[in-house]
Structure 1
Amino acid sequence: MLTGDAHDPAAALAKAAKISHWQAWVAPMDIAARVAALRAQGHRVPMIIEQPRYMKLMSRTAAELEELAAPIECTADGTTASM
């Protein structure tokens, strides 16, 4: 998981979602580059984008990203998530 959020909220979400590999304080351009690299290797990358203005960093439309993304679920209160 890559996020621009601070360490503590990122750690809490990663723990709740049982994500073992994560990094906080990642700049949007760095996230976009990592996603592009993973997709170039054939990986499907699930994404949650909180701020739609960052979508312009991506090379695909929201519909295309949704088609490529793996399913992801989050609870309404945001405390747990599963993939």
Structure 2
Amino acid sequence: MFDALAAARIDTVEVTFNGYADEGQIDGAVADGEGGDTDLQSIHVEIARVEWGNQIVTRQTLSLKGAIEKLVHDVLEQTYSG
């Protein structure tokens, strides 16, 4: 994911989240840098994840936007479970 961001000349991504307790949603992701106008949906990356309680690594291809959102959801779940 970070290689794809660097290749697109994106320096930072700001993700906004609106939620409380069990409820919430990602409102958007804004890219900044020379490639800040890049369509994050048009770039695809493969990510590898391990689900909680499972030792099997699963791989999936997502848009860069989807991968960023998946990462944010995972971090939120790990940090604020529930």
Q: TM-score, normalised by structure 2?
A: 0.27
Structure with greater strand percent: 2
Q: Larger radius of gyration, structure 1 or 2?
A: 2
